Structure formats: C-alpha cells, structure tokens
Amino acid sequence: MSVAREQVECLHHSLIILLCLAARGYAFRDDARNGRFRALIFTHPMTLRMSYERRFRVPFRFLLLVTLAACTREDVASRAREPAAPALPASGTPRATVTLDAEDGQWTRAAKSLSGIRYSQLAQITADNVRNLRPVWTFSTSVLRGHEEAPLVVNNTMYILTPYPNLLYALDLTKGDSAPTKWMYNPKPQSEAQGVACCDVVNRGPVFANGSIIFNTLDNHVIAVDAATGAEKWNTKVGEINNGETMTMSPLVVKNMVLVGNSGGEMGVRGWLKALDLGSGSVRWTAYSTGPDSEVLIGARFKPHYPKDRGKDLGVSTWTGAQWKIGGGTVWGWISYDPTLNLVYYGTANPGPWNPDQRPGDNKWTSSIFARDPDTGEAVWAYQMSPHDLHDYDGVNENLLIDVPWKGQTRHVLIHPDRNGYVYMMDRATGEVLSAEPFVHITTTHGVDLANGMLRYEPSKHGRVGEVVRDICPASPGGKDWQPSSFSPRTGLVYLPHQNLCQDSEGLEANYIAGTPYVGMNVVMTAGPGGNRGELTAWDPAAGRAAWKLTEDLPVWSGTLATAGDVVFYGTMDGWFKAVDARTGAKLWQYKTGSGIIGQPMTYRGPDGKQYVAIMSGVGGWAGAIVAGNLDPRDSTAALGMVAAMKDLPSKTTKGGTLYVFALP
Amino acid sequence: MMLRPLACRARTPLLLVGAALAVVGCRREERRFRESPPATTPSAVRVSALQPGTMADTSHMPNPYESSAYAQSEGQRLFGWYNCAGCHANGGGGMGPPLMDDEWIYGSSPENIYNTIIQGRPNGMPSFAGKIPSPQIWQLVTYVRSLSGLTPMSGRSARTEHMNFYQGAQSMQGAQTPKNSFRPPASEFP
C-alpha cells in the first residue's frame, strides 16, 4: 500500500472514530469565543451540565496536529529492516555452507544432524516437480493436543511420539502405504502433569541411538525403549511435577550420553541440563542454569568472551538472596553438537517470575547460551543475550552450526535466532558475537553493542508493578519461539519460521507457591506491524539480513525443512502444509491437512527408494492453546495473553493429531 | 460550525434514570460486618449427576457468602494471591480450563467448586487442602461462580477496565462477565 493511500485511509479512520463518538452520545461543540474556531469540546451527555467539562476541551490545532502526525507516522524502523526485493547471493558471492554427513535417507533425531540444520540431501522432490506431491498415507495419533513433534525414520520404521500421554508408535514402512503399527509403548505419565505444563502438553520428539528410541515424558521420565521390540530398557525420573517441573524437549545423544533439560520457567523452576548414560540411564552430570559455579559446572576452563559474563558465582551474585533457586533458566529447547570442538550448545529460558521488579540483577544464567564439554558438563563459554530479561525472552531457540564467510575469512559460527528479535551469529569456539541483526520489528531494544556484547534496552519498555506498558515488540513468545529453522548449503540461507506479535503488559506481584505459576504479569498480545501474525524469513547470515520474507496471517508455529531439491517445507496453523522455492520463496504447492500444523516437517527415503515428506498435523502449543484447551476468548489474558491475538483460530481449525505422508506419483 | 449538544434534549429522561439508579443502587446487598466464618464444609459431594435408580438427593449446600459483594471481591483478590489466575487467567483459562464459561467438568454448585479446590482434580488441578482456610475457600467459590454469572447480580463488583484496550477484551485483574450461555463465534472478537 502506498504511503499516500495509507494516510488517506488513516484520516478516514479518524473521521469514523469521531462519528462513532457522536453516535454514542458524545457531543462536539466548537469553542467559538472571539469568533474563531479554536477547539473541539467533547462532552458526554452525563457531564453536560457539570463544571469540569473544561477538562475535555481539546485545542483544535492540537487535534489536527495529532491526527496528521498519527496518519503520517510510518514504521520507518521496521520498514528499513525489510529487504527491498528478493536478493540472493549472486553466483560467485561467498555464501554460508556446512560440512554434511553422508545421506542415509533416515531421520534419526528431530533436527536430523548434530549441527541442527534440518537439511536433507534427498533430491527427488524438486522445485520443479513438487506441485505433483500428494498424500499417500495418514495415521491418527488418538491425541487431541498440540503436535509439535518430529517423526523419526530409522531402519524402515517410523516412530511417532504424541503429546501427553506421550504414546510412542512404531510404524512398519516395509508394508507399503498401509504402514501398520509394529508396536506401541504407553509410558502412562501422571495425569496431574497436565496442570503444570505452561503452554499445552506438547513434546518435541524422540531421538534414536544405539538401537533405542529415547524420549521425555511430561511427568519428567527419560525412557529408552528397544527400537525393534518396544520393550523398555530403562526409565529414569529426573524431575518433580510438585515443583512445577515438566519435560517437553527432544533429547540429543552425544558420545553415549543422553542430554535432557527441564521445562517450567513459568512455575518457579530452576533450570538444568542433565547427561544420562545411554546404556543404563543413570545421571552422569547435572549442569544448573542458576546458582554457584560448582552447580553450574563453571570451572577453570570457563572463558566467556565478554567481561560482562566473567566473575565468580554470577549465578548467585546476579540475584537477590536465594531467588536463584526459583529463578527459571529452564532448558526446554534445542541442543546441537560440534564434534570437532567437542562442544554442545544450548540456550536457557527466561528468568522467573516474569515481573522483573521482583528479581533485581542480571539473573544469570537465564536467557543465555552455554557451550559445554559433554564429557564432563564443564562450561567453556557462556553469553547472556538478555540480561535481566523484561519480557519472557527465553534463549532456548535452536543453534545452527554452520560456516560463514565473514570479513574475508570463513568463520565456524553458531546461528541463533533469539526470542528478543535478533539473529545472533557467534564464533562457536569463543562465544564472540560477530553480528546480531533484527529479523522482526523491535521496540524493546536498540541493538547489540558488539564491543561489549550488551543488549541496549529501551528504558520506556521497562514496566513497573501496576504500570501498563504498551507496544512491546516482539511479544513474550518473541520474534521467534521454539519452532526450529533449517539451513540449505545450496542457497546459503537459513529459513526462519516465526511470528509477528506485539503486546501490552502490566506487572503484578507474583507469589511463589511451589507447583503453581510464578509469573506476575498480565499480558495482552496483538499482531505486529502489517497485521500479519506470522512470517517465513529466509535469512542470509553472510549478509546479516533477510534475503526474502513471506507473510502468513497466523503465526508460523511449525518448523521448516530444507532439501537438496531446493524446496522448503513448513505448515500453517490453519492446516496448510506448504512448499516454497528455497531460492526465491515462490509458492510451489500446498495441501490442507485436518488440523493446524505446529509440527516439524521431515523427509526420508522409503524402502521402495522413493523420497517421502512427513508432517504432524494437530493444532495446539502456546499459540494454539485457545483451540487445544477450549479457552474463552472473552478473556484477553487467557494463555498468558496469547488468546488475545488468536481469537479467530477456533473458526479456522479444530483439534486432532494426524500424521500425513506425501510422495510424488 | 455551531453544533448543538446532541444530548441536551435527553436531560429529563436522564434525571429519571438517575433516580432509578439511585434506588436500585441502595438495594445492593446487606453487608454484615461481623462475618463469622462458616464452619460447615460440604461432605458427600457428587461429581456425577448419574445416580443408579431413584435420585437420592438433589439439594445443594448453600454458600454462606453467595450474595456477598465483600466475599466476592475478597475471592477475586485471593484468586490472584493463591495463583489460581496463573492457571485459569482471569477466567479464560490457560494451563487450566476456562472458568467463565458454562461448561463444568466437576460441577458448578458451590459445594462442588469447594471440593474441587480442596481435593484437587486428576488432570492437573492442585489440591489446596490445608493451604487455604475454609472461609477463604468460600470466598473463592463466590468469585469463581460470579465469573460465569452464577451469583446474584447485586453481589458483583464493578468491572475494572484499565487494560481493556482491544475490542472485546476483558479487564485484566477483575473480569466480571455476565452469564453467557453460548460461546460467541470468534468472528465477534477481531
């Protein structure tokens, strides 16, 4: 829409508002003393005869100025950040790349590779033929809540883990498209766990290693079952629902260790990452996110890049009193691993409670990234993205380990699209931030100072108890939430699925009662600039900006998948499964599934040698809670304010978990 | 551009309405200042309406605070204090189900809600037995029932609108919603 047209529309709207006021009984009178028209007086019928009508007197010149200003105001900032036109790295321009493992046609962990890039070298389905893609078989999970999980394919068997009650199905792919169930494992989690799961009872998928399928249950059990028979090998309870702990993340197996973390940042939970022995399930080490160095596993090898992250026992001294014991920093997102450096990378969640006034200090190590040696758990570096987080900007999003040409050199980096709205590119050996560029409209901060690693906060967005702060962008789920991005070494682009939401919020005093919410914030969300609530951004890490963007009406709450056929797959919350051109973003194909999609697309080679693409359909998660939990849209604060932005979802989709598998004819 | 005040003509009817309001307002509720806490706690509460054979007992144990505005505003405060609002938001739900609609899993009568709070419920409603004194539970019951309009109108407190900045939004701290026996289509809430 042209700027001129926008202005005319805006003036038009203002006029309508004035007319509406008139219709409601407000009267406008001109204040015509001295024979000059100088002001409008708004009077409500009730106040007509009362003496304080002067309070409603608005100088006309002021009114005109305000209206004009409001109508000319353009989101210069957000616009400047949008790419002008689809721009691809011209051939010959150095682009980001990655060293790939040999393609085995399987999908053994949620992100496929340890580097977390969700890229398949299968190339039967291409940008040219994807329009012929059609569903070949489906499978109902019998569960109605949000299906965020990725299916796995190992040894011609597909494994599907449902949200609570965390049923694990093994489907036989060797029997053609009938894919019968080989076995089903039911861990029978405690039903009470549902009440302490902050944002629907989701699970982000199992992992395969050493002949076992390993997964977490909502009630904090890590379970290994025999991939061939479904027999339980071991079952270790690592958390406690009575403290508000749950588990929703997808484990990662590194060097005979199963790495798992907890959820519950809204319940006063203290975050941790644990390593369990792959063979026995016994806990080898626990690295807390808060507390003394001895418990955060910070020792002699700890060398953060920035002075702000150096010091003794920062996990205690950046809090007041014993608040670190209930301070959040849970580990419910993604873990990636660099075998050359022998380091695992993961982020920690928001500090608790959300109300920042109740936890003075930087609140380390919440909203941070850790690099750890998996053998011992020792931290090698850490970087806090959002010190003293104000808006629930968890740091748990995925870290893609790729190589990027940067200032004439190839740098081994980690790409981290954070909830605070910046894509961080960091040297993954040292934790140095090479660039941090916005991928959404941001009003809460003004960039990252690369000299000292500090996030520059906008002071006016720091709310106090009882104070309403408006126009907080991005909203609490961030510029991007858990939904994982993918990377194609063929285009050098990272495909970010994300939302475009802003919010108003009001701090309240939070009261800690173990096992109940510890939030202290009233939130009401709305769509960000442009009115579209979701986006798919193709991010060029070498250039530090978006190459192209697609807008979606609803938040893009599904993961993305990139393939060597130069196709990118993702789903929408109203149930469309889509394929777009990895180079240009051109829409190539779409199919409407039974329920909204918030799952992680994957692809595999079937026993018949054909390439298949699979996705779970089944709306829910935080963004879909209004449907999954039958929430009442009359309360805008429902689901921590998310319902306000998603009021129309019940008219666009219904619940129900189904797997869809697609192939070419 | 001399616009005559639109509402001038409405002055006389307005006075009448004002007088009527004053009369109604005076009838709000009788406030008892020495409230002795109800000693009673409900027993033998059914959470199923299905009784094999003849219906034995359909009488409800009354909530001693049912129409007390004070109990209700206290209940509202306690709903925040005991973190009910963390799971049920301001009635619209989140981790727990909505309480402002007319769907009840475990019953909407005062003694049912009382027992829900005391006993907890299997899909994640914590048991607050021993954590909340009985009079406060009755106050919470009054407030919970008011969310869906089950308490007498006279006892309800005013809506607070300070965060009601989107069309259709409820107030943040004290959603006081009249009974709405159907869920309005989402299209009414842009």
| Structure token digits, residue A156 | 């011609």
Quick check: A170 and A183 in contact, CB under 8 A?
Answer: yes
- Nearest CB to B7 within list A45, A195, A635: A45
List, as one string, the DSSP characters of A603-639. Answer: EEE-TTS-EEEEEEE---TTTTHHHHTT--TT-TTGG
Asked if A630 and B169 come within 8 Å (Cβ–Cβ), the reply is no
How far is C-alpha A451 from the chain's CA centre? 27
> In A332-491, where do the E strands start and end?
335-338, 343-347, 368-372, 379-384, 400-406, 409-417, 422-427, 433-438, 445-449, 454-457, 468-472, 486-488
Confidence of residue B164 (pLDDT cuts 50, 70, 90): very low
- Angstrom CA distances, A148 to A161, A174, B180, stand at 10, 26, 33
Short-list A166, A515, A621, CA closest to B87: A515
Task: State how far residue A521 is from chain B, nearest Cα, in angstroms.
Answer: 9
Sole residue written with tokens 């003496």: A51
Cα–Cα distance measured from residue A164 to residue A218, given in angstroms and rounded to the nearest whole number:
6
Which chain B residues are closer than 8 Å to A511 by Cβ?
80-83
Which chain A residues are closer than 8 Å to B4 by Cβ?
27, 29
Q: Best interface-test mutation with B: which of A637, A640, A652 has the largest number of B CBs within 10 A?
A: A637
Asked if A513 and B83 come within 8 Å (Cβ–Cβ), the reply is yes
- Nearest CB to B93 within list A517, A629, A644: A629
Active site residue A500: no
Per-residue confidence (pLDDT) for residue B31, from 0 to 100: 60
Which chain A residues are closer than 8 Å to B177 by Cβ?
634-635
Active site residue A581: no
- Nearest CB to A632 within list B86, B100, B169: B100
Average pLDDT for residues A299-307, to the nearest whole number?
A: 98
Cα end-to-end distance, chain A, whole Å: 41
| Structure token digits, residue A243 | 């403290």
Residue B62 has, within 13 A of its CA and on its CB side, a CA count of 6
Which chain B residues are closer than 8 Å to A638 by Cβ?
89-94, 98
- Nearest CB to B6 within list A27, A49, A633: A27
Average pLDDT for residues B160-168, to the nearest whole number?
A: 43
Cα–Cα distance measured from residue A182 to residue A230, given in angstroms and rounded to the nearest whole number:
9
Provide φ and ψ at B149, rounded to 5°. Answer: 75, 25
- Residues 6+ away with beta carbon under 8 Å from A176: none
CATH code assigned to B63-190: 1.10.760.10
Cα–Cα distance measured from residue A64 to residue B149, given in angstroms and rounded to the nearest whole number:
44
Burial of A12 (0-12, 13-18, 19+ CB in 10 A): exposed
- Nearest CB to B170 within list A635, A649, A651: A635
Per-residue confidence (pLDDT) for residue A38, from 0 to 100: 42
Asked if B3 and A27 come within 8 Å (Cβ–Cβ), the reply is yes
- Angstrom CA distances, B96 to A632, B83, B104, stand at 11, 11, 12
Domain ranges, ordered by start, for chain B: 63-190
- Residues 6+ away with beta carbon under 8 Å from B155: B29, B66, B67, B68, B69, B71, B72, B142, B146
Burial of A637 (0-12, 13-18, 19+ CB in 10 A): buried
Short-list B55, B56, B60, CA closest to B45: B60
Full-model pTM: 0.85
Strand, helix or coil for residue B21: helix
User: Other C-beta atoms within 10 Å of A550: how many?
Assistant: 20
- Nearest CB to B98 within list A28, A524, A638: A638
| Structure token digits, residue A441 | 């409209």
- Angstrom CA distances, A533 to A119, A164, A594, A596, A606, stand at 26, 27, 21, 15, 36
Cα–Cα distance measured from residue B45 to residue B47, given in angstroms and rounded to the nearest whole number:
7
Sole residue written with tokens 């299209």: B187
> Any bridge partners for residue A159, and if so which?
A152, A170
Quick check: A327 and A317 in contact, CB under 8 A?
Answer: no
Which chain B residues are closer than 8 Å to A518 by Cβ?
83, 86
Per-residue confidence (pLDDT) for residue B22, from 0 to 100: 52
**Quick check: bond before A517 cis, omega within 30?**
no
Cα–Cα distance measured from residue A266 to residue A625, given in angstroms and rounded to the nearest whole number:
16
Asked if B186 and A651 come within 8 Å (Cβ–Cβ), the reply is yes
Which chain A residues are closer than 8 Å to B91 by Cβ?
632, 634-635, 638
Per-residue confidence (pLDDT) for residue B18, from 0 to 100: 58
Short-list A473, A405, A410, A488, CA closest to A439: A473
Quick check: A578 and A624 in contact, CB under 8 A?
Answer: no
Asked if B92 and A504 come within 8 Å (Cβ–Cβ), the reply is no
Query: What is the percentage of chain A residues whose pLDDT exceeds 70?
Result: 86
Amino acid found at A69: A
Asked if B169 and A636 come within 8 Å (Cβ–Cβ), the reply is yes
Cα–Cα distance measured from residue A494 to residue A342, given in angstroms and rounded to the nearest whole number:
24
Q: What per-residue string of b and e applies to A47-57 under the rule 16 or more CB within 10 Å gives b?
A: bbeeeebeeee
Asked if A632 and B185 come within 8 Å (Cβ–Cβ), the reply is no
Asked if A635 and B185 come within 8 Å (Cβ–Cβ), the reply is no
Q: Are strands A561-563 and A119-120 parallel, antiparallel or unpaired?
A: parallel
Statement: residue A633 has pLDDT above 90:
yes
Confidence of residue A85 (pLDDT cuts 50, 70, 90): very low
Q: Which of A149, A200, A266, A309 is catalytic?
A: A266
**Nearest residue of B to residue A45 by CA position?**
B7
Residues B95-135: tens digit of each pLDDT: 999 999 999 999 999 999 999 999 999 999 999 999 999 99
Which chain A residues are closer than 8 Å to B6 by Cβ?
22, 25-27, 45
Which chain A residues are closer than 8 Å to B170 by Cβ?
634-637
Statement: residue A143 has pLDDT above 80:
yes
ipTM score here?
Answer: 0.84
Per-residue confidence (pLDDT) for residue A392, from 0 to 100: 98
Cα–Cα distance measured from residue A394 to residue A622, given in angstroms and rounded to the nearest whole number:
14
- Could you give the domains of chain A? 3-76 (no CATH), 121-150+482-665 (2.140.10.10)
- Nearest CB to A193 within list B82, B92, B124: B124
A560: left (phi over 0), alpha (psi -120 to 50) or beta: beta
Short-list A396, A478, A390, CA closest to A438: A478
Asked if B97 and A46 come within 8 Å (Cβ–Cβ), the reply is no
| Structure token digits, residue A133 | 């893609």
- Residues 6+ away with beta carbon under 8 Å from A146: A163, A200, A201, A202, A598, A618, A619, A620, A621, A624, A625, A628
Q: What is the SS3 string spanning A203-248?
A: CCCCEEECCEEEEECCCCEEEEEECCCCCEEEEEECCCHHHCCECC
**Nearest residue of A to residue B187 by CA position?**
A648
Q: Best interface-test mutation with B: which of A24, A49, A634, A654 has the largest number of B CBs within 10 A?
A: A634
Average pLDDT for residues A502-507, to the nearest whole number?
A: 96
| Structure token digits, residue A71 | 């109508």
Per-residue confidence (pLDDT) for residue B184, from 0 to 100: 42
Mean pLDDT score across all residues of chain A:
90
Q: Best interface-test mutation with A: which of B172, B173, B179 has the largest number of A CBs within 10 A?
A: B172
Q: Which of A166, A203, A262, A350 is catalytic?
A: A350
Cα–Cα distance measured from residue A212 to residue A226, given in angstroms and rounded to the nearest whole number:
5
- Angstrom CA distances, A531 to A17, A500, A554, A645, A647, stand at 20, 8, 10, 10, 14
Q: DSSP letter for A28, please.
A: E
Per-residue confidence (pLDDT) for residue A72, from 0 to 100: 41
User: Other C-beta atoms within 10 Å of A457: how many?
Assistant: 15
Lowest pLDDT segment from A351-365, A389-403, A474-488, B164-178:
B164-178
- Nearest CB to B125 within list A195, A636, A651: A195
Query: What is the percentage of chain B residues whose pLDDT exceeds 70?
Result: 57
Residues A406-459: tens digit of each pLDDT: 999 999 999 999 999 999 999 999 999 999 999 999 999 999 999 999 999 999
Per-residue confidence (pLDDT) for residue A112, from 0 to 100: 98
Q: Which of A309, A392, A394, A398 is catalytic?
A: A392
Per-residue confidence (pLDDT) for residue B36, from 0 to 100: 59
Asked if B162 and A468 come within 8 Å (Cβ–Cβ), the reply is yes
Quick check: A633 and A648 in contact, CB under 8 A?
Answer: no
**Nearest residue of B to residue A628 by CA position?**
B94
Active site residue A266: yes
Amino acid found at A264: G
- Residues 6+ away with beta carbon under 8 Å from A400: A115, A116, A117, A336, A414, A415, A416, A485, A487, A494
Cα–Cα distance measured from residue A415 to residue A427, given in angstroms and rounded to the nearest whole number:
9
Which chain B residues are closer than 8 Å to A43 by Cβ?
5, 7
Per-residue confidence (pLDDT) for residue B34, from 0 to 100: 56
**Nearest residue of B to residue A30 by CA position?**
B2
Which chain A residues are closer than 8 Å to B131 by Cβ?
513
Asked if B126 and A515 come within 8 Å (Cβ–Cβ), the reply is yes
Statement: residue B69 has pLDDT above 70:
yes
* Cβ–Cβ pairs < 8 A, chains A and B: 186
Short-list A472, A446, A323, CA closest to A391: A472
Per-residue confidence (pLDDT) for residue B58, from 0 to 100: 65
Per-residue confidence (pLDDT) for residue A367, from 0 to 100: 98
Asked if B184 and A195 come within 8 Å (Cβ–Cβ), the reply is no
